[in-house]
Structure 1
Amino acid sequence: MAAFWRPLKDEVTRSGVSRQELCDRLDLSASAVSELLNGKRAKAPDWDVVRAIVSACDGSLAYWRRRLDELVRELDAQRALELRSGRARKDPGERAGCTVCQDAYEAERFEEYATGWGDEWDPAVPYGAAAVLAGRNGELQGEMQALGVGLLESTEGLSAFRDQFNDLTRGLMADLGRRVRRACHPHRIRLLHAAHTIVVIEGCVKGPLLDAVLAYGVAVDLHLVFENGLDDGTFAAAPLPVANTRYDDHHARVVDHYARVWASLRGEIPSRQDAGRCASIYEGRLAELAAECPELFVWAGMQDGSDAAGALGACTDGEARDRLQELYRDLHTQKRGLDGLETLLRALARQVPAPAWSVRLSEIHRSALGHPVSPINDAHQGRSKCVPRVPSLSRGYVNPAFRTAVHDSDSRPHVEAWWSTRPLRQEIQGFLAGHFSGFPTVNRPLLILGDPGAGKSLLTRLLAARLPPTDYLPIRIELRNVTADAEILDQIAQALRHATNKDITWDTVTSSCSGVLPVLIFDGFDELLQAGGADHWYYLEEIADFQERSAEAGLPVAAVVTSRTVVADQAKIPDETVIIRLEPFDAARIARWSDVWNTHNAGRSIPPLPRDLGALHPDLAPQPLLLLMLTLYYAMRDEGDAEWAAPMNRVTTLYERLLTLFVRRQIRKHHCKMRPEAVEERVEEELDLLSVIAAGMFNRGSQGVTAEEADHDLAFLRAPGRRRTRRPTRLLFGEFFFFIHEAKATLDGGEHRIWYEFLHATFGEYLVARKIALTLRHCPDQGPYDGLLFSLLSFTPLTDRAQIIDYLGDLLPGTDTVAQLFPAALHALPPGSDTGYTMGPTPATFRHACHSANLLLVALSAGQLLRFSELVADGGSPAEVWRTHATLWKSQLPSTSWDAFVSAVGTMPVSRGTDHDGPRDIVIRLGQHDADPAAHNMSWLLGTDMPLVKDDEPLSALRRTRPLHDRDAERLVEPALPVFDELTALTSSFVLDGYGRHVSAAHALIALLICPPAPHPDALARYETCMSVLVTVSGEPGARLVDLVSRRLATESDSLPTEAVDAIVQELTRHGIICAGQHGGDAFDRTRISLLVISCRLLDRTRRKGLVGRIATLLGADASSAEVTGVEERLLQGEWQKRRTSEAGIVRPLFEALFDLLIRAAGAEVKDVALLRLLKLAVALDQSSWCRQYAERGLRSIRPVLRSRLLPFEADYLGSSLAVRLDAERRRAHP
């Protein structure tokens, strides 16, 4: 068969005939055409089919007719031979490897589905699921098609249908576990998705719903059963149960799903009990399937705590239940080092040889399992029984609890309180196994958040080590060690080079790993954000785009990104991204760590760690890194020291004692005869040395320094009085300290390059804070300490490493010192105080900007409210000094640093005195923004509480701002430029609005125009503010303001209180007439129509006396005349009573009365203008019946020159014949 179809398929390809054209010619689906061309039909094709294909390709009909005859003879001979020998064809499933990948027909079917070309094999559709599971067994596919047709009208028919369905599902599910184990990742997901679809239908078919429908005497439409079995947008349309949904939540959605199926069949809401029985059948079948295919075990969350009981309870006794219990038992006895993750994934692994690169990278990552959980004291491991041994990564890592969320527009993953609303989950191993073995992993990264020291990096190291190489290709990218601004592919290549010491590419690695899922693990996204350079706002989206492009190219890719929780708002997180947050340790996990530690150090001269460490130090022990610090402190403490008995409830206290303790032990070890006071002096000297190295890293915005840079920093940044002794950096670290890691590389010329970094960034951050705090104790001295402080604070804003500010809050006693230093923050250093420290050419403006910003941050570190006037020299204006500093900061700091600064520092303008006329001041607080970014600030800037203020500087302010070409200023000004062009006068007047805030006329107008329609609660207040600003503008700007407000009010006057509308119309009418007189022209005529519309509607609502007179005035008639008074009396007393049941209300009789009055009025010009306005008003109020009766007569009474003022739509409304007549008159007037 293949020998016949392969050359014909090639001919089709060469001819350029599209698949769609063949589908149309043959009247077949895309899948059927694909099946033909790939030779997957068991029988020879009809000549009509072959002739249609050959004709489309302009091929030789005679040749292909001869080839078809030969094929028929060969098939007949082969069939006869098989019958004589009794042999059956070998099942292609017996071949090693993924059967789909090895079968061209199956692979193409999958590709068509994956690219959206056809849905015949969509595993979410029952018939598609059957096609996926049946493979090349057309008989099973046909049975599924046949089952979904017809009606069930009796219980006997239902029983027979169930028997048929049971037989079919057994055939479809036969040997599913073996097929799944040999399939590659994408095809495995497809098989399981299809199996899950059949299980969903089973719950409906075998449950009580169909019985209940028949009991109502209603026939069951089987097509509806199959269709409605999978049209649920929250459950059944999802690819599969997903790892981020707990089992009990999944159960609730299943019950809701079956309830909707019932409603679609009966149109009624079923009992939850019946839907629950269907769900129980589904869950029992799912549990049985999970025993054979453990992917479903983890996808459905069956492994997580109490959820497991529900899953096991759904599974009947027997082999399947025993398998599930064994999986659960294996997983829950493995609580360290993610070893349970490896157990699960190996149970899911394919039974095929692993690709070479997958094996090699796996071995590299697995080598980390035997390394200490932290390299602290790595150099001293095992040398002395007095030195503690840190457990290995595989034994010492305690699996954390976690919370999960799927990101959407309402998510706040950077907010601690938001996470507290998410359910706490215990079994992270099962979650990760479910995520990486499931389909959703290949279109969004998994984002892992946690506090500093929560163990995010350790988790990624373990994840890379535990993924089995038969199914996964783990590539761990430490973002601190790759180029921050590089493309994703370049960062992957750098990580591969670092891991393998080879120059290899992504393509090289993946091309030889067919069927394996690459897992890209990006560790330390927060460090990438803080590295500066390019804007990384879209970095997570770039990873998602990379995943989608790879999947489209046939290579699905999973991705993981770790970051600190607090910076999760500094990047755009793609919607539907799964996020997990690592939780602090609970008492059980702290005790588990204590047991591991004590076991690992048994037999050494180390005091055991108490299991209740969490109760002793509740603020420190729950954080894994601090727990390790506490452990080391307990292990090395001298219980005779007085400080040991002192309370320890802050992180800074722990770090200080631990650093001091270890350095003291090392000094005593090497200098056992040194006097106690000399030891303490030496301890302080060594801590100062380490603080200098930490300050150098901070100043450079780096996580490490080279040996040469460290030597340079030590020459300039030592505390005054400690600069006499200098030792080589390498000797210092090798002898005395274990918190610093040394990396060494040999360059091409044989030169050694040494790099130092702290084992965790928080060590360096604490030492920087310590250095700053100790230096401040000696300031101001107009000498070396002032210069040293300038060197420490003039290269990087502290908000780039916000943790330093937190530590400073613990270490500093108050702000008095900063208050003395800040007034001179922008001045040159006093003679003799400059340390001479620099790291290359740096503008003096930048250093002074950084210095003053950091002094402010130091003052704020205590966490208290601070008035800026407290830092300003006597006689200075706080507002002006703030503007000087703030504009300098914005101009000098990098955009990322400025963003971090304004995000951390909240400001609120206030007055220093008790009245608004007092000097302006600014209240500042760290980490709290009491004012909305769009809050009103004009009252403070104007410096007054007067209700009306004139300011003639708007254009001057614009001229002063535009030459700066500042991006932020331009973006803020750009929306207001039309106002400056058209309505400049509206920007120079300010009034107090209803909330006591000064707003300009332009602000009041724009706020009204963009306000949601009445009865929005703000609408009336905004109208009242516009009325307040009317007195501040005149002439054309005033007329424009009246016109715009009137037009808005005409659209919603019926939704506002009548008293308010009446007052607004009176004010608009009065001011509009004044402005029209000042400005001249006909501009007010447009406004009149709007005001007339409002007045007529108000009259219809209230029958208020005086409104008829106002309407007459707006039309141009004499409101004081007896005729107008008579019209009002007749309408409100007599004429209205006769028409009170008319749908037209009072407006129709009003129009009739005014028309009659105007027709009889003297003065042609006044009459004509008033009649024209009345006609325009009739159009605006949609008085169609009145127009049909009076419009033509009215227009005849108006001079032609005035009729030309009708707008086209008004002429159309008044009648097409009338419009033609007017046109003719215009042509006659102007031939």
Structure 2
Amino acid sequence: MIVGAGLAPAEAAISAVWGWIDQKKEAHGLLGAALDKVSDRILDTGLLKRHELVVAAHTALAMSAFFEVIAESPIGTALTEAGISDREKLLLAGAPLDIVDHTIQSLYRLEVPIPSAVTPFAQNRENIAAWATLMAEDVSRFVHSVLYDELYDEDSDDDVNPEQQLRESKQFGTQAQQRVGAATEALYRSSYLDFAAKVPEFKIWADLVEHAGTQSALARMEQLLSATVKELPAHRDLAAIVRRLDQATLRGPVLDAATDGYGTGVTFPSLEELFVDPRCKSISFGKGGSPIGDDTFWQINVSETGDLGTVLARHFSSARATTQPLLLLGHPGAGKSLVTKVLAARLPDWGFPTVRVPLRHVEANATIAVQIQQALDASTHNRVSWHDLVEQTADRIRVVLLDGLDELLQAGTGQHADYLHQVVEFQRTEAALDRPVAVVVTSRTLVVDRLSLPSGIPLIRLEEFDTNRIKEWVRRWNLAQADPASPTMPVNFALRYFKLAAQPLLLLLLTLYRTTHEHTQKTVELSSARLYENLITDYARREVSKKSSRRLDGGEYDSAVETQIRTLAIAAFGMFNRGRQDITEADLTVDLQSLEEPQTAPTGERVLGEFFFIHTPEAREVSSIRRSYEFLHATFGEYLVARHIVDELHEAAHSAFSGRRRQEPRADMLLALLSHQPLAIQTPILRFLDDRLETLDQREIETIRDTLDLLLRNHRRRGMTHAYTKYAPQEPDTLRTLTCYVANLVLLRIRRAFGRTGVATKTLFPGSDPMDTWRSVVDLWRAGLDEQGYHAMLTAVDLVDGEHVAREGLRGSVTRLQHLHHARLRGDHALVSQLRLAHIVGGNSVYIVQRGSPATRMREWVDYFRAWTAAAWGEPDGIPPLALALPPKLPSGTPAPTSESDVLRRTASLLIAFSGEVSHQHAPALTSWLNELRAHALTWRDADLARQLHRAADIATARTQGTAEPGDRPQDRSTAWETILAVHCHKIEDNGESEPVFEGIPVLPGITR
């Protein structure tokens, strides 16, 4: 029954429901014995079957707890005393089909909450209580219908009083249903803990395994999961081959460094020695969530951090692991790729054979299965086939680690916003073939809002190091320095720069910097940008010293160092403009020649020297060696791009303002470099630009600002020809060239160094109609950029009060609502209103507010309300979006404009119509909303409106307390529908001002962005 039963026909299903309720303790005793047998069977089963048994046992455990509580409730008592016979129970199978279908679907298809990576046991207990409450509501509704039919059944037993039973069963209201939920949770908890004593998975989910302090290289996860599987006998196991290679990576140095250890004599520890398990936060993605890329989302929605090893162990042992990917997020340098390397080596291959797929090294537009095979070919030298690996490990759960989705987005020419949906489909196909796969995908947090996320997908975000982890990391680093003469890292130095040391990559760079600059005065302050600058400058100096055949004097030496850094910057631009994470030596050589840069190495020798942040993979082709270069981490390239842009802005400003008269800036290099990709696709470049610009003095800032103004004003007359036309990192495209150049000029001009409140449109585009010019520019972006670039611009630029172009636009996914966001950025309020209504009526509730004056915020809210009311009629629980959206606060005593007051009066009438129908879980939010709105009415001294809202609040409060009968309402639906139409048709007079584009804010529960 526990593991094999599917959905029965309606008659058997209803009979089974009665069986659960009627049999009481006897049924639950039988279930307990069955669970004991299952627990014994689980311990002696292969991982895949074991996984299925564990999930089935958990479901049965929860269902048992629920029906045991129901049997002792007024519902169970009423049915027992009613004496309904088996014949009558089967006769009920002929009840109205909608009642049968609803009950079967609710009781057999309502998913039982189960612990997972993002839902530990403690939280799942709350979910069980909520689930049981909903189940009780469905059972109550069904029993009411049964007793109602019995009341009018002429053949019913004369000794039974159905009317009395029906009256007594009505006492089983909202509060009683909630008591069932609480009692079910308590019984579930007790049974669960008994089961956890026998089944390791239950113990992992409840985090009952003793912790052992700060863990190394996810050893805790390996320990926990090893307890759930039996080690297989030794034989030629393809999974073991892959794991041996992954373990070799774990034992290798944390960096592929030059043998001289960066010229300092340091010894780089192995990844296994140095990796400190980070803290993490976890949550499920919901349609009503805030922008995930925003730190505010994690601060508001996730209060606790967890141990990464424990969270991952919960995930891989849970039912969700093979149905949805786990998305592992982190900021640049947080250690996402290192986590996947450690995971691949630590997951026990006899239970979880693992394949790691670095997405930067596979074909971006290939299917997921092909990408997996390409990764296997590269890592095993074509020794392992994905198909053979799957078939050989059919009794196990395979794990695929897709590392670097953000890099795939940059490298691909196709549309990858739905990549995670492709992963879900891949998992669904594999599961249908009885070959389930768990998938982990990593990505930068900053780009995740450009993706379409499957609802319910588990999210984990790596957190920064705390003080203890910084100390532990430094201790391990120093321990690896076996030579007493080797420089070590003082803990106090790391803690002094806590903001840098809290990020694993920057902690490593800080350590390398300290080993080179032991003599540095302690008064020198470091930022992340300055740290990158110092490290890159150190590299350039070493390269110049190694390559020079003679000692260079001061000026000559400085020039050679700068040339070396420019070569690095051109390499970084070559990668960025090609949408890649690497560049071939041939392409780099052509780029340097096209940009008339001096060559730093003779033909046939390396253009870039070996260094800890430069990889140089080589492939031998017939008689030549094909080299390519890539940075250890993308942030090195991003910093170099930002640095080079500021240098070129200096040059352009000097050409325009150094003489007695202002001249047209000579910006050919800027045009050549900035006309292929919008900088917005890599947000760290923009942040490095901000940091770099803020190091300049005020005079430099002003001349660069004025130079950008000149370039923007003349961009239509400038033409796209320049001195470096041979520089062609992409195929020629005149429209893209102009579009990228203008987009990048706008992004540069709105940097915070030039004004923190934004730039007026008339400053950007002086003339008779600045807004018309601005709108044409925004339309140009949509026409000339690819999807990734266009969406990136929508999230990087904002329009405030129709006048100021500002940095940081919408913080959230723009894929689904791109047309609405485009209209907002253009300042086209009429089109925004039409699109919003279309989206909401189509089922996509939208809740975004803009920056701007109180008047514009109020008008925006009213506009939303018009659209929401038009869509509210189709909501099964009344109007939850309306119940959760508050109007903007205005100063006390501010009179509401007539148009807004009229809308609010109609809204109050509409809310009264719905307040008796809203479900009990939404009623508290509705009550709070009504009281808040009533306070606004009092602020506006509108007593009549306040009374109407007070009336609606009373009705909603009664629903909250369970004292209102479902269906009670003081106004019929036809009148409410007229209200909806009246609100929808209401028009607001245009005061002639352009509408602002608003930024995304955290979205309240129940609201879909």
Q: Taking structure 1 as the reference length, what is the TM-score of the superposition?
A: 0.56
Distance 2:189 2:778 in 1: 62
Distance 1:618 1:833 in 2: 46
Match of 1:810 in 2: 691
Comparing 481-490 with 778-787, greater Cα deviation is found at 778-787
CA displacement at 1:786 relative to structure 2: 2.4
Q: Secondary structure at the match of 1:328?
A: coil
Match of 1:94 in 2: none
Unaligned segments of structure 2, at least 5 residues? 87-103, 141-168, 657-663, 812-818, 840-853, 888-895, 911-977, 979-1009
In the alignment, structure 1 residue 247 sits paired with structure 2 residue 151: no
Corresponding residue to 1:176 among 20, 39, 47: 39
1:734–1:176 distance in 2 versus 1, CA, 3 Å: same
Contact 1:180/1:188 (8 A) holds in 2: yes
Q: How does 1:600-619 map to 2 (within 5 A)?
A: 600-612=480-492, 615-619=495-499
1:930-976 Cα offsets, whole Å, 9 max, x none, are: 9984878999999xxxxxxxxxxxxxxxxxxxxxxxxx99x989999
Distance 2:132 2:787 in 1: 54
Corresponding residue to 2:809 among 910, 916, 928: 928
1:849–1:436 distance in 2 versus 1, CA, 3 Å: same
1:121–1:573 distance in 2 versus 1, CA, 3 Å: farther
Corresponding residue to 1:374 among 248, 251, 255: 255
Match of 1:560 in 2: 440
In the alignment, structure 1 residue 734 sits paired with structure 2 residue 596: no
1:687–1:236 distance in 2 versus 1, CA, 3 Å: same
1:168-224 Cα offsets, whole Å, 9 max, x none, are: 8457525835x3244233421232234445655787899999699999999999999
CA displacement at 1:820 relative to structure 2: 3.0
Distance 1:996 1:341 in 2: 52
Contact 2:712/2:745 (8 A) holds in 1: yes
Corresponding residue to 2:536 among 643, 659, 664: 659
Q: How does 1:336-375 map to 2 (within 5 A)?
A: 336-353=216-233, 356-375=237-256
Contact 1:442/1:551 (8 A) holds in 2: yes
1:1167-1189 Cα offsets, whole Å, 9 max, x none, are: xxxxxxxxxxxxx9xxxxxxxxx
1:638–1:879 distance in 2 versus 1, CA, 3 Å: same
User: Counterpart of 2:528 in structure 1: which amino acid?
Assistant: V
CA displacement at 1:753 relative to structure 2: 2.2
Q: Secondary structure at the match of 2:411?
A: coil
Contact 1:541/1:574 (8 A) holds in 2: yes
In the alignment, structure 1 residue 289 sits paired with structure 2 residue 181: no
Q: How does 1:793-942 map to 2 (within 5 A)?
A: 793-812=674-693, 813=696, 814=701, 815-828=705-718, 833-834=723-724, 836-839=726-729, 841-862=731-752, 864=756, 865-872=758-765, 877-883=769-775, 885-908=777-800, 910=802, 922-928=803-809, 933=821
Distance 1:732 1:822 in 2: 36
Distance 2:602 2:246 in 1: 37
Q: Taking structure 2 as the reference length, what is the TM-score of the superposition?
A: 0.68
Distance 2:870 2:23 in 1: 58
Corresponding residue to 2:271 among 375, 393, 403: 393
Distance 1:626 1:574 in 2: 33
1:725-745 Cα offsets, whole Å, 9 max, x none, are: 55458534335x331101112
Contact 2:283/2:458 (8 A) holds in 1: yes
Corresponding residue to 1:706 among 569, 572, 584: 584
Match of 2:343 in 1: 463
CA displacement at 1:338 relative to structure 2: 0.8
Aligned residues with identical type, % of pairs: 28
CA displacement at 1:766 relative to structure 2: 0.5
Distance 1:411 1:254 in 2: 22
Contact 1:148/1:223 (8 A) holds in 2: no
In the alignment, structure 1 residue 510 sits paired with structure 2 residue 373: no
CA displacement at 1:343 relative to structure 2: 1.2
Distance 1:1008 1:903 in 2: 25
Comparing 278-287 with 467-476, greater Cα deviation is found at 278-287
Query: RMSD of the alignment, in Å?
Result: 5.2
In the alignment, structure 1 residue 581 sits paired with structure 2 residue 443: no
1:736-790 Cα offsets, whole Å, 9 max, x none, are: x33110111234x464322111111110010011111112111153899622222
Match of 2:931 in 1: none
Distance 1:454 1:502 in 2: 32
1:801–1:212 distance in 2 versus 1, CA, 3 Å: closer
Contact 2:59/2:112 (8 A) holds in 1: no
Q: Secondary structure at the match of 2:627?
A: strand
Unaligned segments of structure 1, at least 5 residues? 1-30, 32-108, 129-144, 153-157, 225-229, 309-326, 911-921, 943-967, 977-993, 1028-1047, 1057-1179, 1181-1231
Q: Secondary structure at the match of 1:336?
A: coil
Q: How does 1:406-485 map to 2 (within 5 A)?
A: 406-412=284-290, 413-421=292-300, 422-485=302-365
User: Counterpart of 1:661 in structure 2: which amino acid?
Assistant: D
Contact 1:784/1:832 (8 A) holds in 2: no
User: Counterpart of 1:529 in structure 2: which amino acid?
Assistant: L
1:343–1:833 distance in 2 versus 1, CA, 3 Å: same
Larger Rg: 1
Q: Secondary structure at the match of 1:903?
A: helix
Contact 2:22/2:71 (8 A) holds in 1: no
Q: Secondary structure at the match of 2:227?
A: helix
Contact 2:362/2:375 (8 A) holds in 1: yes
Q: How does 1:916-995 map to 2 (within 5 A)?
A: 922-928=803-809, 933=821
CA displacement at 1:703 relative to structure 2: 0.9
Distance 1:809 1:336 in 2: 36
Contact 2:582/2:630 (8 A) holds in 1: yes
1:395–1:208 distance in 2 versus 1, CA, 3 Å: farther
Distance 2:585 2:241 in 1: 33
Corresponding residue to 1:328 among 195, 205, 210: 210
Comparing 511-520 with 839-848, greater Cα deviation is found at 839-848
In the alignment, structure 1 residue 190 sits paired with structure 2 residue 52: yes
Distance 1:492 1:526 in 2: 17
Contact 2:617/2:629 (8 A) holds in 1: yes
Distance 2:665 2:821 in 1: 41
1:765-816 Cα offsets, whole Å, 9 max, x none, are: 1001111111211115389962222222122221122221211112224322
Distance 1:572 1:262 in 2: 35
Q: Secondary structure at the match of 1:753?
A: strand
1:726–1:426 distance in 2 versus 1, CA, 3 Å: same
1:767–1:357 distance in 2 versus 1, CA, 3 Å: same
Match of 2:470 in 1: 590
Contact 1:909/1:940 (8 A) holds in 2: no
1:423-471 Cα offsets, whole Å, 9 max, x none, are: 3222111111111122211111111111111111111121121111111
User: Counterpart of 2:51 in structure 1: which amino acid?
Assistant: I
1:861–1:193 distance in 2 versus 1, CA, 3 Å: same
Match of 1:1136 in 2: none
CA displacement at 1:646 relative to structure 2: 2.1
Q: How does 1:638-653 map to 2 (within 5 A)?
A: 638-640=518-520, 645-648=523-526, 650-653=527-530
User: Counterpart of 2:783 in structure 1: which amino acid?
Assistant: S
Q: How does 1:14-93 map to 2 (within 5 A)?
A: none
Distance 1:570 1:841 in 2: 25
1:630–1:876 distance in 2 versus 1, CA, 3 Å: farther
1:244-274 Cα offsets, whole Å, 9 max, x none, are: 2233323445567789999989948689999
CA displacement at 1:632 relative to structure 2: 1.4
Contact 1:209/1:278 (8 A) holds in 2: no
1:135-187 Cα offsets, whole Å, 9 max, x none, are: xxxxxxxxxx9x969678xxxxx7xx6xx97698457525835x324423342
Contact 1:904/1:926 (8 A) holds in 2: yes
Contact 1:521/1:559 (8 A) holds in 2: yes
CA displacement at 1:296 relative to structure 2: 1.0
